Amino acid sequence: MSSIGRGRVGRFALSAATVSLLLTGITVGAIGAASGATSKYHKTLACEVTDTGGVNDKSFNASAYLGLKEAVKVDSKVITKKVQSTPSNGTESTYVNEISSFVSQHCSIIITVGFLMSDATWNAAHANPKDHFAQVDNTNSSPGKDGIAVPPATGTAKNILGLTYETQQDAFLGGYEAAAYAVAHNPSAPKVATYGGLQFSSVTYYMDGFYDGVQYYNTTMKPATPVAVLGWDETTQKGTFIGSFTDQTTAATDTTAFLAQGATTVFPVAGSDGLGTTAAVTTWNAAHASLLANVEWVDTDGCVSDATDCNLFLNSVTKGVTASVKTAVLLQAEGKFKGGDYIGTLKNGGAAFIQDQGTMGKTNSAATVAAIATITKGIENGTIKVAVGGK
């Protein structure tokens, strides 16, 4: 199990949204019009570069690809798509080549998925100012001098639309619920765990929220033994990272180690690595029926994207990648593309907490479910603030 400190993390991973996204410079009404049946679309070739894990990772790549497909369905006569999936050993040059290929194919909008492509996207946008780009898990701002961005190393770009998500908000609810489960089922030594794929802000914001949700439970519910979080400390920004989003073997090993230390919930923020966690929890539960463990899924509704493991999921902590990608394509097709940032939250649906309906999802008490509803309102109205980035 690797435990590392804070490396190069992303620029502030603000938030993206689903139906009622807030886009800088574009009103909610304009966004709604983008999906209207009476809208007239121009001929549009939407091209998407997915990150390692590919379109079938059951996580953010799959969500982005679904958004692309849903946009095409709106008017397939004029909106078409192309997609390229980065191999698991992708490098910066891989991203550059894939984006350059789409530029040469005269794509109307190029969508890049994941923080790893921030430099390549920024450089391509500045080299091709007439082309339009949207990037998942990145804001419309330079990766900065610590990256490999070409000058200017600061500022924003008129041809980049950042799709970012305040996932610390719904992860906070996940942490609270995991803590409640731990106290209810192992009150003498309650523990939960989380780990990441790589240490980027789009990953650690999830982990920050989860950690803070556990601390909120400890503070408000005052259990006899406070719930401990394995794998991450929000205050120090140190924790467990697999080193990729495609290493299910290491994910299973680390998950088993967490379970052996007493964790009853594991929250993988690591794309398809999460399938290593579900496999490990399944094996563990078969041998430990007196204290069953569970999983919190990330990015998508686990009971939809990984239906065979639905009974393992306590909940799913998601973000509106599908809707934001779809909207970006339709704005382009309507001729309404504008550089800026999508800002999504619990309040507008850009981050969503899903209480899964499998066996584990039904284990929480009515009091816990009611508390989560109250906390949700507190986050939405600003009375509960979820910190990120440590101290």
CATH number at residue 110: 3.40.50.2300
Do 159 and 173 lie in a common domain? Answer: no
C-alpha 307/C-alpha 311 separation (Å) is 9
Do 43 and 144 lie in a common domain? Answer: yes
Q: Are 268 and 277 in contact (CB under 8 A)?
A: yes
Q: Which of 123, 133, 165 is nearest to 328 (CA)?
A: 133
Do 118 and 215 lie in a common domain? Answer: no
- Phi then psi for 237, rounded to 5 degrees? 60, 40
Retrieve residue 301's tokens: 């509704």
pLDDT of residue 31: 39
Asked whether residue 187 is assigned to any structural domain, the reply reads yes
CA dist list (Å): 240 to 5, 54, 198, 269, 276: 9, 23, 9, 11, 15
Q: Are 155 and 141 in contact (CB under 8 A)?
A: yes
Degrees to nearest 5, angle at CA 318 with 297 and 219: 80
Do 15 and 139 lie in a common domain? Answer: yes
Do 232 and 187 lie in a common domain? Answer: yes
Asked whether residue 358 is assigned to any structural domain, the reply reads yes
Other beta carbons within 10 angstroms of residue 146's beta carbon come to: 9
pLDDT of residue 51: 85
Q: Is pLDDT above 70 for 2?
A: no
Q: Are 174 and 353 in contact (CB under 8 A)?
A: yes
- Phi then psi for 113, rounded to 5 degrees? -115, 110
Helix, coil or strand: residue 275: helix
Do 361 and 231 lie in a common domain? Answer: yes
Do 103 and 186 lie in a common domain? Answer: no
Asked whether residue 285 is assigned to any structural domain, the reply reads yes
Retrieve residue 103's tokens: 């530029």
Asked whether residue 339 is assigned to any structural domain, the reply reads yes
Asked whether residue 390 is assigned to any structural domain, the reply reads no
Do 134 and 64 lie in a common domain? Answer: yes
Give the mean pLDDT of 101-114. Answer: 95
- Tally of domains in the chain: 2
For 294-344, how does the pLDDT look when each residue is reduced to its tens digit (9 = 90+)? Answer: 999 999 899 998 999 999 999 999 998 998 999 999 999 999 999 999 888
Do 58 and 176 lie in a common domain? Answer: no
Per-residue confidence band for 350, with pLDDT thresholds at 50, 70 and 90: confident
For 20-64, how does the pLDDT look when each residue is reduced to its tens digit (9 = 90+)? Answer: 344 443 333 333 344 444 558 999 999 999 987 788 887 788 889
Q: Are 281 and 254 in contact (CB under 8 A)?
A: no
Burial of 75 (0-12, 13-18, 19+ CB in 10 A): middle
Asked whether residue 74 is assigned to any structural domain, the reply reads yes
C-alpha 67/C-alpha 90 separation (Å) is 23
C-alpha 284/C-alpha 291 separation (Å) is 10
C-alpha 285/C-alpha 281 separation (Å) is 6
Q: Is pLDDT above 80 for 17?
A: no
Asked whether residue 1 is assigned to any structural domain, the reply reads no
Domain enclosing residue 108, as ranges? 7-166+321-344
Do 111 and 219 lie in a common domain? Answer: no
Q: Are 319 and 299 in contact (CB under 8 A)?
A: yes
Alpha helices in 236-334 (DSSP H): 248-260, 274-287, 302-305, 321-333
Q: Is pLDDT above 90 for 197?
A: yes
Do 202 and 135 lie in a common domain? Answer: no
Retrieve residue 248's tokens: 């299910």
Q: Where are the beta strands (DSSP E) in the chain?
A: 3-4, 22-23, 44-50, 79-85, 109-113, 132-136, 160-165, 191-196, 228-230, 232-233, 238-240, 263-269, 294-299, 313-319, 340-344, 351-354
In sequence order, what are the residues at sequence separation of 6 or more whose Cβ sits closer than 8 angstroms to the Cβ of residue 373?
none
Do 124 and 269 lie in a common domain? Answer: no
Other beta carbons within 10 angstroms of residue 311's beta carbon come to: 18
Asked whether residue 389 is assigned to any structural domain, the reply reads no
